[in-house]
Chains A and B, each alone.
Chain A
Amino acid sequence: MSAGLAVDDAAWASAWRTRAPLDKLLLCGGLVVCALVLPAWPGSVLVALTAVALALGPARVPARTFGRAVRWPLAFVATGALTAVVSVDGGGLGWAPDAAARAGDLVGHSVAGGAAVLLLATTTPVSDLLPVLRRLRVPAAVVEVASVTYRLLFVLLDSLRTIREAQANRMGYSSVRRSYRSSGALAAAVLTRSFDRARRMQEGLAGRGMETGLRVLPEALPSSPAFLAASAAGLATLLTVGLVA
């Protein structure tokens, strides 16, 4: 069983993995902005279709991963949109005027924006995006803490799953009371393990003469002028169609 997260696994396996992170960031950022500013019809629908088509087509992201990843945000969007268009009038509940249109607007913008972010997430591992933060003048210490967070996260998720399985096998989750006790012990074990691991890594690195942080050679992922031109043309088309239609 993979210890990773489905979206992260997809990002490493994606056909767009070797494209320059900044290229993908520009394309997806453009799509996110289009999703936000264009009218829901037809703008959001076009943005959502574009993002899904690019992910499942050229980027070869498994449809299952993409579909599963949107479930949680969809639950929030559905609840939030429904709440936004229900009106409380004199103690009674009713639909706000133009409720269907407003709900459609909200769902459209969110689904389109969500699909655009997911296109970035399923094609670009976080470790490729962090050096971009450095170029955006985020302090080196902050980027380094973020990259340690990213790398430790999988180790901790793995510990979490192993410990939880061991607890479950010992009937640790057989009643609500036991579930709470087990969850508390699980959180404590993961916390102490993470600190212990951080300390041991620190000692190991200090022994190897590390003074100013973990230096790794960034992988050379050259930017593609054709990709950028196609992105710009596609985004311009989306904007034109979205605004004119």
Chain B
Amino acid sequence: MHIAEGFLPAPHAIGWTVAAAPFVVHGARAVVKEVREHPESTLLLGAAGAFTFVLSAIKLPSITGSSSHPTGTGAGAVLFRPPVMALLGTVVLLFQALLLAHGGLTTLGANAFAFAVVGPWAGYGAYRLARALGAGLLPGVFVALALADLATYVTTSLQLALAFPDAAGGFAGAVVKFLGVFALTQVPLALAEGLLGVLLFRVLTTSARPELERLGLLPAVPAEERG
């Protein structure tokens, strides 16, 4: 769920762009540094961006009967860390605006803040917390993806409430309204995305174990023990 082009008044569009900019610039610096040190990462990072875009094209059956699309940033945050996702997420948003007419250019800053900054950080934070509390990889992945999705939707609702306070209830009233309307689709979707993440990582732990070990998600097992 991205805010459509032209939906936010100009001051809000500018304000959110300014708010998202430091994170995206920080992400860009991380990518430039990574590419300078490991030129071969260009293709890997490009693949990660393309995967995030394509993940949002997978339709998940939702409890409410309709089907929904995952945000895909939670998986990226676990695999590649939030700073890189701030940049990749923004690139994906730009492509979604230009290739699918999802979101927009003046609302790119607001959407980047929710989708590429808050979502990945919330998901990654939840993942680290779950792992620190002793949870395994899969429960960690579930909370990361579900929370990244939920945090994105809550942020979008707050952005809309700030732009359109309720006539009677003010900002608080508007928050309740927007959260309520979008909760119908987004809460089942968050759970569905968490579940998809578990299934995804379960396959990855068997088919792409060396990659997960290299990314530090699983403890490295010496080759001779792997059999």
Contact = CB atoms under 8 A, between A and B. Distances in A.
Given A141-B32, A149-B46, A117 B95 contact: no
Interface string A163-199: 0000000000000100111011111111110110111
B167 A121 contact: no
Interface residues of A, number: 84
Contacts of B218: none
Nearest to B67: A179
Interface in A61-110: 69-70, 72-73, 76-77, 79-80, 83-84, 86-90, 96-97, 106, 109-110
A180 B39 contact: no
Interface in B100-153: 100-102, 104-106
B23 to A, nearest CB: 14
Contacts of B102: 72-73
Given A149-B53, A194-B51, A195-B211, A213 B42 contact: yes
Interface string B40-69: 101111111111011101111100000000
Contact of B31 (A90, A142, A156, A214): A142
Contacts of A199: 43-44
A38 B2 CA distance: 23
Contacts, number: 253
A157 B5 CA distance: 25
Contacts of B2: 76
A212 B169 CA distance: 57
B36 A185 contact: no
A118 interface: yes
Interface stretch (A29-37, A218-226, A227-235, A237-245): A29-37
Would you list the 3 A-B pairs with minimal beta carbon distance, nearest first? A184-B199, A148-B46, A113-B6
B35 to A, nearest CB: 4
Given A179-B61, A190-B55, 16 more contacts: A32-B5, A36-B13, A77-B4, A84-B174, A86-B177, A110-B4, A110-B6, A114-B6, A117-B97, A146-B94, A152-B46, A180-B199, A188-B203, A191-B200, A194-B51, A202-B44
Contact of B47 (A72, A109, A197, A214): A197
Contacts of B100: 5, 7, 69, 72
Interface of A: 5, 7-8, 29, 32, 35-37, 44, 69-70, 72-73, 76-77, 79-80, 83-84, 86-90, 96-97, 106, 109-114, 116-118, 120-121, 126, 129, 138-139, 141-142, 144-153, 155-157, 160, 176, 179-181, 183-192, 194-195, 197-199, 201-202, 206, 211-214
A96 B174 CA distance: 12
A188 to B, nearest CB: 4
Nearest to A200: B43
Interface string B183-214: 00000000010011011111110011001000
A76 B4 contact: yes
Contacts of B32: 139, 141-142
A198 B101 contact: no
B87 interface: yes
12 contacts: A76-B1, A110-B4, A110-B5, A110-B7, A117-B104, A141-B36, A144-B46, A146-B49, A149-B91, A184-B202, A194-B54, A198-B47
